[in-house]
Structure formats: structure tokens, C-alpha cells
Amino acid sequence: LFNFSAGPAVLPHAVLAEAQADMLDWHGSGMSVMEMSHRGREFMEIIHDAEQDLRQLMAVPAGYKVLFLQGGASQQFAMVPMNLLAGKTSADYVNTGHWSKLAIKEASRFGKVNVVASAEDRGFSYVPDQGVWQCDPEAAYLHYTSNETIGGVQFPFVPDAGKVPLVCDMSSDFLSREIDVAKFGLIYAGAQKNIGPSGLVVVIVREDLLGQAMPGTPTMLDYQVHANADSMYNTPPTYPIYIAGLVFKWLKEQGGVKGMAAHNGEKAGLLYHAITSSNGFYSTHVAEADRSQMNVVFRLKDEALDEVFVAEAKKRGLVQLKGHRVVGGMRASIYNAMPIEGVKALVGFMGEFAHQHG
Ligand code: PLP
């Protein structure tokens, strides 16, 4: 079976097999990871290794904290302004779709939000060129969503924020391509696509941005509190952190982020080629340069065939292809753990389906 879910999404088989082998007795400890004290020697080793592996994978420079927090990426929509907006007039946001809209809505509860560019005019089918953004050099930060999971739109560039801290929701393309962390003030990513089980969110934050939370910020929502306690202020999500650690080790074995990026490019290339060479049977509305390598969103020529497509695909073991209700059509999510065989199977099926129904 090949699972094209947008998240929670497929995880590397080898990781799940290792977790299964460890389930009752982690490394001779006699305990499942779920049963361990988070302050015990065993779990301290697990979280330490996870952090070091992630730092190595992303070449995180000195001066950045890596935090393993709870509440998913959605909680970051509030934590970011609560921690970075105090004492500033406003924050800049780029609106490229569903997830940026939610981030904007939440931030507006805590201060003034300036939408510097929006792709709503063309149905969120592209990334606005940075030349037209109306950025404020005094903004508290500049926020963008590097990959819109629902719209299938991905930034092909890292914005230049000048001296303003750059903040990115990288939930659905984290660890999928090389990025220069030094360009960012803060990166956050919900785990359930390229990292591990849902609920966990990874935050990478530049240390000079800590300690500025608004008065009244709940203790649990203050980055400084978690940074001071090395993500151990309270009981962290131990099992998701353990699985994330296994995923990071797996990624290192795959040639790291660079290896993954090549693999992801190949997969996305196959799928987009199948769409664009189908004589219009399949189509994508997303501008070519901004097509997501993670979430391939496409339509069938005849919407009436959507259900048949999904049902026939399922019979072949190709599941979770129905698009998000907001945009309709189909969506194939091909995160890091989706093997190329899955994409080839999908492409083969699409060709046959088009032949039969075209
Ligand atoms: N941001 C993006 C880009 C997402 O794709 C998602 C969820 O799919 C979220 C934020 C919200 O994540 P969570 O459900 O972990 O809060």
C-alpha cells in the first residue's frame, strides 16, 4: 500500500520496524520508551541524540536553540506573536493560502498584522514575487509559509528580510531540501509530515529572540522557559521525540537533506510530468516555478470522475488521494518517506485511468 496522506503521513518503514522491535524493551532497558522517566538516563540520551542529529542534518549554526514542544504547528501561530511582537508596532505576513491565513488570523489577536503580499487574487496558485512585497523595515518579524500543504504551492526561494527576523512555518517541507538556517530568526514545523507523530512541533529559534514574551504570556507558551529547560520544563512528548530521533537517523543514512532533496525532486518531476503530458486529462493550477515538491495538487478534466479515480486507485493500494475540501480535485502528498516506487505506481495508474476514461 502507498499512502499519499497530507498528514499524519507515511513514515519510513525501517523506522516503524525499529520502533516495533524496541516496543517492549528499549536497548535492554526492560522498558518501553513510553514508560521511561523523561529525566532518566535513557530518555536523556534519546532526546540528546535527536537534537544533535537534527542539528547536524540542518547544519544549525551556534546561537540557535532547538526545542521539542507540544501543541502542533497551530500553537506556534500564537506563540510566535506572543514572544516576538511585544513592544513592536506590527508584524509582516505573506499570505499564500490556507495555512498563512490561519497564522495571520491568530497573530491579529495579539497585535497589528501587515499583509505584505497576497496570492488570493489568483486563487492562491503562486508565490508573489518578492519585488512587490510591501515590507516594513521596523516590523517585529516577517512570517511566511514555505509550503502550503493544501494549495500545493511552495516557495522556490528564501525571502530576504533584511534586518527583520524571518519566521517560517516549515511544517510540510521541513528537511525536504537544504536551507540556510542562518537566514532565519525562527523556524517551526509540526511533526506529522517529515518528522514523526503529530502533536510534536520542532522550533529552531535564534537565541537573541528569546526572553521578550508579552506580559501575561502563559509559562508554557514562553520560548525562554523551554529553552532554559532544554525542552524539559514539563513532561515533553517523549514517544514522538523518540520516533523523530529515529527518523533523523534514517535521514542521515539516506544522504541527509541533500540526498532527500534529490530524491524528492525526482519524485515530484515524475508526477508533474504525468500531469502536464496528459493532453489535458489532468491539470494543475499552480504556477510552474511554485509547484510543491511535497503536495502535488491536480484536477481531472471531468470532475464527475473524481470519485471513480479515488476508488480505482484504492483498489491498487494507492490511498488518500482525495484533495482537501477547500480546493477539491486530487492531492498526492509525497513527503520524504514516500518511496519512488509509490510515485511510479501512481503515475502508472494515472496513465491507465486517463486511457480508459479520456
Ligand atoms: N501549517 C502547515 C503548513 C500545515 O500543513 C499544518 C497542518 O497540516 C499546520 C500548520 C497545522 O499543524 P497542526 O495540525 O500540527 O497544528
pLDDT band at 109 (very low <50, low <70, confident <90, very high): very high
pLDDT band at 225 (very low <50, low <70, confident <90, very high): very high
Residues 249 and 262 both lie in one domain: no
Question: In whole angstroms, how far apart are CA 193 and each of 110, 119, 141, 183, 228?
Answer: 28, 24, 26, 23, 28
What integer is the mean pLDDT of 39-61? Answer: 98
Catalytic residue among 53, 65, 101, 193: 193
Minimal CA–CA distance to 133: which of 101, 168, 95, 83?
95
pLDDT of residue 60: 98
Q: Name the residue of 70, 75, 93, 99 to mutate for ligand 1: max ligand atoms within 8 A of Cβ.
A: 99
Domain boundary among 253, 282, 308: 253
Residues 307 and 286 both lie in one domain: yes
Evaluate whether residue 8 is within a structural domain.
no
pLDDT of residue 73: 98
pLDDT of residue 310: 98
> Mind listing the pLDDT tens digit for each residue in 307-358?
999 999 999 999 999 999 989 999 999 999 999 999 999 999 999 999 999 8
Number of domains in the chain: 2
Q: How many helices (H) and strands (E) does the chain have?
A: 9, 14
CATH number at residue 169: 3.40.640.10
**Which residues approach ligand 1 with their CB closer than 6 A?**
7, 72-74, 99, 145, 149, 169, 171-172, 190, 198
Q: Are the C-beta atoms of 189 and 170 separated by less than 8 Å? A: yes
The answer on whether 149 is annotated among ligand-binding residues is yes
Residues 155 and 286 both lie in one domain: no
Query: CA 210 to CA 185: how far, in whole Å?
Result: 10
Residues 296 and 147 both lie in one domain: no
315 annotated active-site: no
Say which residues have a Cβ less than 8 Å from residue 138's Cβ, sequence separation at least 6.
Answer: 88, 89, 164
Q: What count of residues does the chain have?
A: 358
pLDDT band at 270 (very low <50, low <70, confident <90, very high): very high
Query: CA 74 to CA 65: how far, in whole Å?
Result: 20
Q: Name the β-bridge partners of 143.
A: 93, 167
Evaluate whether residue 1 is within a structural domain.
no
pLDDT mean across residues, the chain: 98
The answer on whether 99 is annotated among ligand-binding residues is yes
CA of 138 to the centre of ligand 1 (A): 28
Residues 146 and 165 both lie in one domain: yes
> Mind listing the pLDDT tens digit for each residue in 275-294?
999 999 999 999 999 999 99
Evaluate whether residue 299 is within a structural domain.
yes
pTM: 0.98
Residues 208 and 325 both lie in one domain: no
Residues 109 and 123 both lie in one domain: yes
> Mind listing the pLDDT tens digit for each residue in 182-221?
999 999 999 999 999 999 999 999 999 999 999 999 999 9
Residues 124 and 203 both lie in one domain: yes
> What is the phi/psi pair of residue 259, to 5°?
-60, -45
Residues 286 and 308 both lie in one domain: yes
Rounded to two decimals, the ipTM of the complex is: 0.99
Residues 89 and 37 both lie in one domain: yes
pLDDT of residue 274: 98
Say which residues have a Cβ less than 8 Å from residue 226's Cβ, sequence separation at least 6.
Answer: 67, 69, 233
99 annotated active-site: yes
Range of the domain at 351: 255-357
Minimal CA–CA distance to 337: which of 168, 93, 174?
174
